[in-house]
Structure 1
């Protein structure tokens, strides 16, 4: 019995909540990946605002499907959802020359950099100190690349009077991966089969 309690406690503490965090701007790549994270945040008295900025997704129909699912999820919970709109050409220009890079390679690093930079800017604009991303819930993504991009974005947009902080968290922990799969079925979410861009497809 004692060993079970220890294991349960370790799982519970796998997500490390910053002491002063009561609100977070959450960059969401899709509804399935954000669902368990949003639930955890709300259970721990952290108010999430969803920021949907994913210009990497191709084609437009795929982007719209994922966007609408994310919005539907947020509206069902009564939380704020922000549409950063779609500019795939900007993303293509940003990753130009890295189209053939493998997954977890230079193209992914650039993609994270663009998306998290815009998230950091939005957090500063809204006066939200912390921002995070659901990208860190995917086992197909490099947590190191995501952390580098997030921390770099925070540094780039912060000023002495307006600091933003990247909450570098492995969202695969604490049973959230299993909960994600449960919520995917409960909500009947569209579950995409590739990262988003034409090169990963």
Structure 2
């Protein structure tokens, strides 16, 4: 019975990469280049995403990450994001917006969840905090879609990220672009681009809590993710 349930779940699992490809094909078939608000968690994660999506969208990168600690680290990551956008050749120009570095908002959100492990409720709330800002910017600027680079990480749950995005899309009336950027070797490609451009690659997600739990190697997690997808 348990095995049958697992098979049923696997058969009904959504393939967000295929949904993204279908959306790209739809607009390309109509000769359209839609606009996209892309929330970026960091320059390395955005590298493959920008290489991929800038062929099909007019992109505005929103760097909104009030979770990052310490402040010096935040500014380092912002500059690296701007440097990459300025240097990487893209079919359509990419614009950049730096959000407010409002750490108070993040710590208020995390209150009571400080001791939870990475990947738990605190992280889900943090994803929503940042995706909500992306949805607000997309609506304010009148853009076609919003999405985030976060799903490229093998340590981030694409299903939960997309569920948050879908819910916010209904709330704000702005379309969410489904994604699972770790598919098609997206994470490994981001590592390759980062090396080619001499990019700073941090060894923790960003917040003080992840800094204290930075023992997991994303490259090792890739194998676990791929094994799970094959089942």
Give the TM-score normalised by the residue count of structure 2. Answer: 0.75
Alignment of 1:46-61 (within 5 A): 46-61=57-72
Deviation at 1:42, TM superposition (A): 2.1
RMSD: 1.8
Quote the residue 2:176 is aligned against. 166
Quote the residue 2:74 is aligned against. 63
More helix by share: 2
Q: 1:74 aligns with which of 72, 85, 104?
A: 85
2:97 is paired with a residue whose SS is strand
C-alpha spacing 1:92/1:101, structure 2 compared with 1 (3 Å): same
Quote the residue 2:209 is aligned against. 199
Quote the residue 1:9 is aligned against. none
Deviation at 1:47, TM superposition (A): 1.8
Q: Which moved more, 1:14-23 or 1:171-180?
A: 14-23
2:94 is paired with a residue whose SS is coil
Q: 1:26 aligns with which of 38, 51, 75?
A: 38
Deviation at 1:29, TM superposition (A): 0.5
Q: Which moved more, 1:176-185 or 1:72-81?
A: 72-81
Quote the residue 2:21 is aligned against. 16
Q: 2:188 aligns with which of 178, 182, 189?
A: 178
Query: Which whole-Å CA distance do the structure 1 matches of 2:122 and 2:128 have between them?
Result: 10
Quote the residue 2:123 is aligned against. 108
Query: Which whole-Å CA distance do the structure 2 matches of 1:67 and 1:31 have between them?
Result: 8
Number of residues paired by the alignment? 184
Deviation at 1:103, TM superposition (A): 1.4
C-alpha spacing 1:50/1:16, structure 2 compared with 1 (3 Å): same
Once superposed, which parts of structure 1, at least 4 consecutive aligned residues long, lie more than 4 Å away? 12-15
Query: Which whole-Å CA distance do the structure 1 matches of 2:35 and 2:87 have between them?
Result: 19
Question: Conserved in 1, the CA contact under 8 Å of 2:20 and 2:177?
Answer: no
Q: 2:54 aligns with which of 42, 64, 84?
A: 42
Query: Which whole-Å CA distance do the structure 2 matches of 1:22 and 1:175 have between them?
Result: 25
Deviation at 1:147, TM superposition (A): 1.5
Quote the residue 1:136 is aligned against. 151
Question: Conserved in 1, the CA contact under 8 Å of 2:19 and 2:179?
Answer: no
Q: Which moved more, 1:30-39 or 1:172-181?
A: 172-181
Structure 1 spans left out of the alignment, 5+ residues: 1-11, 159-163
